[in-house]
Amino acid sequence: MAAHEEFFSGISKIPYQPDAGAADVMCFKYYNADEVLRGRKMEEWLRFSVCYWHSFCGTGADPFGFQTLHRPWNEGTPMEAAKKRLRVAFEFFTKLGVKYYTFHDRDMAPEGSTLQESNKNLDEMTDLALQLQNQTGIKVLWVTCNLFAHPRYMNGAATNPDCHVLAYAGAQVKKGLEIAKKLGAENFVFWGGREGFLSIHNTDVAAELKHMANFFKMAVKYKEKIGLKCQFLIEPKPKEPCRHQYDYDAMSVIGFLKHYGLQDHFKLNIEPNHTTLAGHSYEHDIVMASAFGMLGSVDANTGSPDLGWDTDQFPMDIKNTTLVMKTIIEQGGLQPGGLNFDAKVRRESTDLVDLFIAHIGAMDAFARGLRNAVRIMDDGIMTGMVMERYSSFSHGLGHKVDNGSATLEEMEDFVIQNGEPEVKSGKQEKYESIFNHYI
Ligand code: XUL
Ligand code: CO
């Protein structure tokens, strides 16, 4: 396929049509990339990214059934198919109007029979990716290494009981960092695919955690050595594939990073489907990571909590997107991170156009969430109510508690002087009703 050849020939650049009808799903009704809200373009608040693995390598296979998605770009030798797939992907990104994409080393280029051969394939594929990036202006949000699919990683990568396997993972990450630099990736993600355990009987947890921390330290050192300027991210997930994953949720990862002195080198890439698998609400880990100054990026998807699997669905729930965007605005944005659609069309959604419909719907859900969050914040009703709720910490004894200078003796004196506190209503339903007004 030559560079100028069009693959999705019946589809042109997706327009913004705020007045389009309900059945028109091939346009944005809320996402207007250049519109400025709270001092920033929508595209800058949202920083959308398409993930390469689900959208261009996904086949629809699941643990119970075979391939259902027969993509016409999978033709020829593995390298020929990889090149065609990449060109198709760039046409898709351009028509959709996203500025970023994400990929694993092994979905960009097929694995060879030796490390050297895999690296050669990656060199060839990333030459083409760089050319396409320069032609289109599309950039890499993040690169990651697939340290979980190959059988060698069945007992883990950085936490493997055999150092030979750990070394293979290290060699793979070394190359991953080099291609991140070559392609100007803005972030680099570590998802601990098989970093965890299925049985405690055969596992030395303390050793595995220390090895994983030392593995990250090697990555930090090499990043600095080659002058790679991107943000490192860890993506928490509580289960699947292991019974226990070390990077269980945001707070587990923050604790791990602080314990091993890695907190200044990493932030978190939060995936809400993983958050709900951990038994938390959709927005929970985004809020927690942000509260610790550690929210770096979001894998914008959703699960079906009633199923309890990692279903990687496209995020379409406006309440959720509103809560997420409110948190993102409050922390001043997500840059250099973004909203990466780590989501796959259902194996029953077999038309090629479903790939567009899914991304457009999810982008619009987040654009609508952004608009809602902006209105909530501009009106200031809820913010004002929360401020009032905590107002006793703005003066006197409360101010001293807030800045850490108060003592228990002062608490006692205060209560002796002021007696029993007047207990105030938490007003949960009032907050919920006001929130519903905006969505
Ligand atoms: C797995 C997952 C991964 C990471 C990158 O559940 O989310 O796709 O985002 O390896
Ligand atoms: Co993910």
- Write the pLDDT tens digit of every residue in 383-409: 999 999 999 999 999 999 999 999 999
> What are the pocket residues of ligand 1 if the criterion is a CB atom closer than 6 Å to any ligand atom?
104, 144, 189, 191, 235, 237, 271, 299, 310, 342
Could you give the CA distance from residue 379 to residue 330 in angstroms, rounded to a whole number? 14
Q: What percent of the chain has pLDDT over 70?
A: 99
Instruction: Take residue 394 and report the two structure tokens written for it.
Output: 């703005």
Distance (Å) of CA 10 to CA 7, 136, 356: 9, 20, 12
Active site residue 104: yes
Instruction: Take residue 206 and report the two structure tokens written for it.
Output: 């303390």
Residue nearest (by alpha carbon) to ligand 1 atom 3: 191
Could you give the CA distance from residue 118 to residue 111 in angstroms, rounded to a whole number? 5
pLDDT at 107 over 60: yes
Gap from CA of 197 to ligand 2 centroid (Å): 20
pLDDT at 2 over 80: no
Q: What is the pLDDT of residue 311?
A: 97
Q: What is the pLDDT of residue 124?
A: 98
Lowest mean pLDDT, pick from 73-77, 254-258, 383-387, 395-399: 73-77
Gap from CA of 228 to ligand 1 centroid (Å): 22
Q: What is the pLDDT of residue 1?
A: 43
Average pLDDT over residues 140-165: 98
- Largest Cα span, the chain: 83
Element counts in the chain: helices (H) and strands (E): 16, 12
Q: Which of 105, 141, 144, 311 best tests ligand 1's pocket when mutated (most atoms within 8 Å of CB)?
A: 144
What pLDDT, in 10s, does the model give residues 295-315?
999 999 999 999 989 999 999
Q: Which of 235, 247, 309 best tests ligand 1's pocket when mutated (most atoms within 8 Å of CB)?
A: 235
Could you give the CA distance from residue 260 to residue 352 in angstroms, rounded to a whole number? 46
Question: Can you give the pTM of this predicted structure?
Answer: 0.97
Q: What is the pLDDT of residue 4?
A: 55
pLDDT at 373 over 60: yes
Q: Are 270 and 299 in contact (CB under 8 A)?
A: yes
Mean pLDDT of the chain: 97
Of residues 4, 70, 104, 164, which has the active-site annotation?
104
pLDDT at 190 over 50: yes
Q: How does DSSP assign 209-230, residue by residue? A: HHHHHHHHHHHHHHHHHTT--P
Q: What is the pLDDT of residue 92?
A: 98
pLDDT band at 5 (very low <50, low <70, confident <90, very high): confident
Average pLDDT over residues 139-159: 98
Average pLDDT over residues 143-159: 98
Q: Which atom of ligand 1 is found nearest the CA of 104?
A: 10
**What is the DSSP code (8-state) at residue 231?**
E
* Residue carrying the six token digits 């379409």: 316
Q: Which domains does the chain have, with CATH numbers?
A: 3-379 (3.20.20.150), 395-438 (no CATH)
Gap from CA of 273 to ligand 2 centroid (Å): 8
Helix axes 353-379, 318-330, angle to 10 degrees: 60
